[in-house]
């Protein structure tokens, strides 16, 4: 397994380099000008000099290599310096956002907590809710619980978050006034009332995303449980005199979790990607929202860096899913 992991990690390097190149070229080919939002009164030659100041005068391959150097050498050094108080990155050029002229990674670090709290929490909730629902739905197939679960999942699955989000805002913010409709990122939790406020403003976006994610995972869990409940080994376990609890929660669940764990692991990168639409609806300025703004502003370094981070996460969690698969299913060995 260790060999396999190392081999996969090494193989990931060319994959990621290729991905970064493709992203870079795509962004370079895309229409749009970072100077577009500069007032028309600024003369063209000044604009041209500004462009050069951003490094846009260099040929494509130089800019790409520059970005690689900054992303893989400079930014890790900055992080290292930040943690250990050293000064390796002294005087080196970091990746700079075209919009704010501030380092991209600092902005990412700033936005990360909002996204992780809202989207991450909803993902954790969704998993914790969906797995038991899937188990009970399958075990009591066609019971009222299963029917209700199927109905709710169908709703969660088929109603897009931009609709359910707005619907919740209309009901709970506009009509009832229970929750704020806009997420206040600057809010600091210092005492009990401010904590309650934080819960309140997180409630709706977390609910919308939980419903959506739970719908998917519970369907998966149910299908996987049903597949296994009729297997011969279940009858064997019952014939051995095992209690229903052991039969279902040990024998069947262990087998059913194999595909579900994969699905859950593969979904994790999307947390970091942020729920772009939901963040937009509730004005949570997390990573997803930041990506959208950066695309509007033709902020190539920002888009490039964010997209590449997502790519890294996707490759990484694919590997994690594969390793989990191997751990859970003894029939799969990668050596």
**Contact residues for another protein, defined by CB under 8 A:** 231-233, 235-243, 251, 254-255, 258, 328-331
**Angle between the 2-29 and 60-69 helix axes, to the nearest 10 degrees?**
140
Quote the least distance from Cβ 140 to another protein, whole Å: 12
| Residue placing its CB nearer to another protein in the complex, 217 or 237 | 237
Quote the least distance from Cβ 179 to another protein, whole Å: 44
264 is written with which tokens? 């859950």
Q: Are 125 and 210 in contact (CB under 8 A)?
A: yes
DSSP H/E element including 277 = helix 276-282
Q: Are 169 and 178 in contact (CB under 8 A)?
A: no
| Residue placing its CB nearer to another protein in the complex, 101 or 245 | 245
Quote the least distance from Cβ 246 to another protein, whole Å: 8
Query: What are the Cα distances from residue 166, in Å, to 118, 189, 291, 334?
Result: 17, 26, 21, 47
Quote the least distance from Cβ 228 to another protein, whole Å: 10
String of b and e for 181-218 (b: at least 16 CB within 10 Å)?
Answer: bebeeeeeeeeeeeeeebeebbebbbbbbbbbbbbbbb
Q: Are 267 and 280 in contact (CB under 8 A)?
A: no
Quote the least distance from Cβ 320 to another protein, whole Å: 19
| Residue placing its CB nearer to another protein in the complex, 101 or 331 | 331
86 is written with which tokens? 């050293």
| Residue placing its CB nearer to another protein in the complex, 43 or 330 | 330
DSSP H/E element including 61 = helix 60-69
| Residue placing its CB nearer to another protein in the complex, 141 or 283 | 141
Quote the least distance from Cβ 223 to another protein, whole Å: 18
Q: Are 92 and 76 in contact (CB under 8 A)?
A: no
| Residue placing its CB nearer to another protein in the complex, 266 or 328 | 328
| Residue placing its CB nearer to another protein in the complex, 322 or 329 | 329
Q: Which residue in 218, 213, 247, 215 sits closest to 230, CA to CA?
A: 247
Quote the least distance from Cβ 248 to another protein, whole Å: 13
Quote the least distance from Cβ 7 to another protein, whole Å: 24
| Residue placing its CB nearer to another protein in the complex, 5 or 141 | 141
| Residue placing its CB nearer to another protein in the complex, 258 or 292 | 258
Quote the least distance from Cβ 15 to another protein, whole Å: 31
55 φ, ψ (degrees, to nearest 5): 90, 10
String of b and e for 91-114 (b: at least 16 CB within 10 Å)?
Answer: eeebbbbbbeeebbbebbeebbeb
């Amino acid at each position: 397994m260790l060999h396999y992991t190392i081999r996969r990690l090494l193989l990931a390097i060319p994959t990621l380099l290729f991905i970064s190149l493709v992203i870079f070229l795509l962004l370079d080919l895309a229409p749009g000008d970072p100077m577009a939002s500069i007032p028309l009164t600024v003369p063209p030659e000044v604009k041209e000099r500004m462009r050069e100041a951003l490094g846009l005068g260099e040929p494509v391959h130089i800019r790409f290599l520059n970005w690689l150097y900054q992303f893989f050498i400079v930014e890790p050094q900055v992080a290292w310096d930040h943690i250990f108080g050293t000064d390796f990155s002294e005087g080196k050029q970091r990746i700079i956002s075209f919009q704010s002229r501030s380092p991209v990674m600092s902005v990412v670090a700033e936005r990360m907590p909002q996204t992780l709290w809202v989207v991450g929490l909803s993902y954790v909730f969704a998993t914790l809710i969906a797995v038991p629902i899937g188990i009970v739905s399958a075990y009591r197939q066609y019971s009222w619980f299963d029917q209700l679960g199927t109905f709710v999942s169908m709703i969660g699955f088929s109603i897009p978050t931009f609709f359910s989000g707005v619907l919740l805002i209309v009901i709970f913010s506009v009509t009832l006034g229970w929750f704020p409709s806009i997420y206040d990122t600057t809010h600091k939790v210092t005492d009990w009332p401010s904590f309650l406020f934080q819960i309140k403003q997180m409630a709706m976006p977390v609910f919308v995303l939980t419903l959506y994610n739970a719908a998917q995972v519970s369907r998966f869990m149910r299908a996987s449980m049903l597949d296994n409940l009729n297997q011969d080994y279940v009858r064997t376990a019952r014939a051995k005199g095992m209690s229903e609890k052991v039969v279902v929660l040990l024998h069947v669940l262990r087998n059913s979790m194999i595909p579900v764990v994969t699905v859950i692991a593969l979904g994790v990168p999307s947390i970091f990607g942020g729920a772009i639409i939901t963040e937009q609806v509730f004005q949570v300025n997390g990573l997803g929202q930041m990506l959208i703004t950066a695309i509007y502003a033709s902020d190539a370094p920002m888009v490039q860096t964010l997209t590449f981070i997502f790519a890294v996460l996707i490759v990484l969690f694919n590997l994690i899913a594969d390793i989990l698969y191997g751990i859970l299913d003894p029939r799969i060995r990668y050596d």
